[in-house]
Structure 1
Amino acid sequence: MALSKAEIAARFGTALFDYAEDMSALDTVHADMQELAEAISNYPQILRIFSDPIFNSAEKAKSLSVIEQGLSEEVQNFLNLLLDYDHFMELPDIINCFNDLYNKNQKIETGVAVSAVALDQRQLQELGTSYARKFNLRKVILTNEVDQSIIGGVILKVGDCVIDGSVKNKLNKIRAQLINKN
């Protein structure tokens, strides 16, 4: 039975994480994976080249050697493994799996700050730092979503945790208290 794309990503992502950890190269491999993710995002045709049956193994290996320049030995070995097993199309999902494992290991969380007006980078960083301190994390990386219906305040969504500090939520609580008193 063939493995699903998610199973392949989980297996290879976990294998890469374990390999990088064993080689004491987690940070280096993470940086290289971020660089690869950005390159794939900017040039998605990279993946098609390595999965296209028109190109033979030698041509694919030659193309890969160009991409591998400047990457760590661990990442070069891993990319060659993906090429050998014909799983290059799963590389974005593998990178996501690796990043999830890396972030968990490094106590880094990602999340969303929902606000009525756009927050600048400094405000997002301050919110992230405050949340990280409160929940004993090393770092929290936040993105911003604007939802004018919350009126004001911020709703933080990090992992499974939601902290609703919106004006809308506070007004709803006051309303509920008034209704219960009558």
Structure 2
Amino acid sequence: MSDARIDGYARAMYEIAQAEGVVNEVEKELYTLARAIESNEQLRNALTDESLPVERRQTVVEQLLGGKASTVTTQLVSFIVGSGRGRELPAIADKLSKRASSESHREVAEVRSSVALTPEQQQRLSDALTKATGKQVNLKIIIDPLVLGGLVATVGDTVIDGTVRTRLDQLKSRL
């Protein structure tokens, strides 16, 4: 799908969430769902396989999100999947997330860590990234078991890699 269509879907979803007064909730839920779709091939296939009837794909959405996500999020995802745009859902969610952050004058900071961060660690990280980038940040934490010690933060085009692997590679190159 073209960037213009992805932008259009993201803008429409943002405006619906804004009208319902649930932008933050919808944005967080869509972002989480997008990461799940990217990392789970079976889920991705269930939502995007055009050989499955639309009703079946929408039932998967209802089963997946029902009671766990807001009604607005569930309806928006069901609409996207029903429109045959399930494959683009991660890109749409990312655009919506950027729009929500932009509207609140924040920058999205995607942080990959092998373990969950405590609220205190999240606050310290947020403060450090704000200081490093000069912008308020909206943390999006992704638990990634492939990250070995430390974390990787991406804010806009800036990548801050504080993993053990990177530090060992740097030490190795110095020796």
TM-score computed with the length of structure 2 as normaliser:
0.64
Residues 11 and 96 of structure 2 are in contact (CA less than 8 Å); yes or no, is this contact kept in structure 1?
Answer: yes
Please say if 1:92 is aligned against 2:93.
no
In structure 1, C-alpha distance between the alignment counterparts of 2:131 and 2:27, rounded to whole Å:
25
Which of 24, 39, 42 is the aligned partner of 1:42? 39
Equivalent residue, structure 2, for 1:68: 65
In structure 1, C-alpha distance between the alignment counterparts of 2:97 and 2:57, rounded to whole Å:
26
Please say if 1:101 is aligned against 2:99.
yes
RMSD of the alignment, in Å? 3.0
Residues 97 and 108 of structure 2 are in contact (CA less than 8 Å); yes or no, is this contact kept in structure 1?
Answer: no
Equivalent residue, structure 2, for 1:32: 29
Equivalent residue, structure 1, for 2:131: 130
SS state at 2:50 partner? coil
Which of 15, 23, 35 is the aligned partner of 2:12? 15
Pair 12,123 (structure 1): closer, same or farther in 2 beyond 3 Å: same
SS state at 2:69 partner? coil
Q: For residue 42 of structure 1, report the CA deviation from its aligned partner.
A: 2.7
Structure with higher Rg: it is 1
Letter in 1 for 2:131: S
In structure 1, C-alpha distance between the alignment counterparts of 2:4 and 2:138, rounded to whole Å:
27
Pair 50,37 (structure 1): closer, same or farther in 2 beyond 3 Å: closer
Residues paired across the two proteins, number: 136
Residues 5 and 90 of structure 1 are in contact (CA less than 8 Å); yes or no, is this contact kept in structure 2?
Answer: no
Q: For residue 126 of structure 1, report the CA deviation from its aligned partner.
A: 4.3
Q: Which runs of 5+ in 2 are unaligned?
A: 111-120, 140-151, 154-159, 171-175
Residues 131 and 140 of structure 1 are in contact (CA less than 8 Å); yes or no, is this contact kept in structure 2?
Answer: no
In structure 1, C-alpha distance between the alignment counterparts of 2:27 and 2:82, rounded to whole Å:
22
